[in-house]
Amino acid sequence: MIRNLIVAAMSILFCIPFVARAADAPVAVTPAKAFFVNIKDGDTVTSPLKIAFGISGMEIAPAGTDKPNTGHFHLLIDTELTDDQKKLPIPKDEQHLHFGKGQTEASIDLKSGKHTLQIVMGDGNHMLHNPPVMSEKITVTVR
């Protein structure tokens, strides 16, 4: 009986790589997409706000990684990139937060009121990808 269970468990384990590969295949041809996992446009939130960053169709890698189709998260707060800024490394300041270690979540302090948030992916040199990978710009209200 136990031997049968072990055989069954092992055959399931051996199947997983094939299943995973089949499921991954369509992702590779889909354009990369960045999104907020736990908040959405119009949400009312409290500060500090914990934000989880999501990405599909691209791998997360620390800044400095020189590998195609990888990147790390930047978070724009109450701002957006101008056309000139889009040609340069993404700024790093209090309105342009940078998660160069490959972090996928952050806790940020926000004053009461409305704020816009947008995720922008940076490549190994903090440059936008071609085409750029950005989330929609959402507005949240901090109580």
Kindly state the number of chain residues that form the binding site for Cu ion, as judged by CB under 5 A: 5
Say how far apart CA 45 and CA 32 lie, in whole Å: 27
Nearest CB to Cu ion, comparing residues 100 and 102: 100
Chosen residue from 71, 126, 135, 140 binding Cu ion by CB under 5 A: 126
In terms of phi and psi (left: phi > 0; alpha: psi -120 to 50; beta: otherwise), the region of 2 is: alpha
Chosen residue from 96, 98, 115, 129 binding Cu ion by CB under 5 A: 98
Q: Which of 32, 54, 56 is nearest to 99 (CA)?
A: 54
Chosen residue from 34, 115, 119, 122 binding Cu ion by CB under 5 A: 122
With vertex at residue 87, the alpha carbon angle to CA 81 and CA 92, rounded to the nearest 5 degrees, is: 55
Q: CB of 56 within 8 A of CB of 33?
A: yes
Check residue 71 for interaction with Cu ion (CB under 5 A).
no
CB of 91 to Cu ion, least distance (A): 10
Check residue 129 for interaction with Cu ion (CB under 5 A).
no
Write out the residues near Cu ion by the rule CB under 5 A.
63, 98, 100, 122, 126
